[in-house]
Amino acid sequence: MSNNSNSEDLPKEIPAGQRGNKLPQLDAAQIAIDSANVGIWLINAVTREFLPSNRTKELFGFRADEEMSVEAAMNQILEKYRQNTISAIENAFKVHSSLYVEYPITGYHDHQSRWLSITGGFTSFDETTTYFSGLVMDITEQKKNELKRSKFIGMVSHELKTPLTALKAYVQMLGNWAQKQKDNFAVGALSKVDKQVRKMLNMINSLLNLSSAEVGKIHINKQTFSLDNLLKEVVEETLFITSSHHITVAPCDNIEINADRDKIEQVLVNLLSNAAKYSDKGSAIYVTCSREEHKVVIGIQDEGMGITEEAVEKVFLPHYRVESKETEKVTGFGIGLYLCSEIIQRHDGKIWVDSEIGKGSTFKFILPIA
């Protein structure tokens, strides 16, 4: 791709009638962009010519007066995030969709570490010229605050988990005793208490994993196990906690994978829980599993409210929640899908969602087969 220096950062020429003590009539949008301290970039959708503004170059650590190609910018992204960012951009070109990604970079000349966000979309000026353009923003301070919050959440969650684990054990002991005494009322009451304790432990585990993910410390302990057995266990557990939906599971044909069993279980629990929360009681949830060469594709399909195209781009970001009248009463922290994405990425897999408003959503993820 070729690149040219953009003149957006240069002041416009002052007309003769305005010279003297009068100020130039600067473009209002340009003033707003300069004040926000953001960079602009432009890519010709046909020729792929790349036009970064001076501020865009500076955010990637380049000098304003030097060339910066798309490849050079991508090379400054930390390796862990680079391929996913490139894939997101390529997918936006492929399906002609909007783009939002966040990633850490190391500046080319200054070697400074910072977090950037890219927002982009397509604009057509005429029948033959279409541009993919957007903004680059420095979100380092925001990310630092998120990290502090995650550390605090992790510390508090860890302290809460110990007494809850003990409470769960005592509830189960009392449940066994009540069954021996044939006290049906106590058995029923303790079963409900146990269900709520399980919910609280699941929430705390999610918060602990969020804290680990945001400091890059999700540990993967791989083992070979049957995916079919895991799916059956997770569905049984989900029906025990959420019995308001009909869950249909397609057989996995004894597929074995080499992965962290607990982490994949967490992904399945999160996806099934979301499918139940965002769809009407009594509706169906379908779990599918299929082999494709050396990988397996798992899908969780619901008949719920669906997700807008704009929200689809952001559902896997930390703390993002779809805001609408339908979701106001749905509880959650907006971290479940982010954790699913982090876990699948650590397994060299891929996760995505297909959705249509009013008809439901299908979350799918791919894992390598052992």
The predicted structure's pLDDT at residue 13: 37
- Report CA-CA distances (Å) from 154 to 200, 205, 207, 306, 344: 15, 9, 6, 31, 21
Whether the model clears a pTM of 0.75, i.e. scores above it, the answer is: no
> Cα–Cα distance between 69 and 97 in angstroms, integer?
22
Q: C-alpha distances in angstroms, 253 versus 124, 249, 257, 272? A: 49, 12, 12, 21
What pLDDT is recorded for position 252?
Answer: 79
- Report pLDDT for 25: 44
Could you please state the CATH topology (level 3) that the domain comprising 223-368 is classified under.
Answer: Heat Shock Protein 90 (3.30.565)
pLDDT score at 130? 85
pLDDT at site 29: 54
Report the topology of domain 7-138. Answer: Beta-Lactamase (3.30.450)
pLDDT of residue 12: 36
pLDDT in tens, the chain (370 residues): 444 444 343 333 334 344 344 334 445 555 555 556 789 999 988 888 899 999 999 999 999 999 999 999 999 999 988 988 898 888 888 888 888 889 999 999 999 999 999 999 888 776 777 889 899 999 999 888 877 776 676 667 667 777 888 888 888 899 889 989 899 998 888 888 887 887 787 777 766 666 666 555 567 888 999 998 899 888 887 887 677 788 888 887 788 899 989 889 889 988 998 888 888 888 899 999 988 888 999 999 999 888 888 788 788 887 666 655 555 555 555 677 888 888 898 898 999 999 988 889 999 999 988 6
- So where are the chain's domains? 7-138, 144-214, 223-368
* Dihedral over alpha carbons 13, 19, 24, 25 (to 10 degrees): -100
pLDDT at 300: 94
Please give the pLDDT value at position 129. 78
Helix (H), strand (E) counts: the chain? 10, 12
Q: Which of 307, 365, 351, 330 is nearest to 242 (CA)?
A: 330
Residue 72: its pLDDT value, please? 94
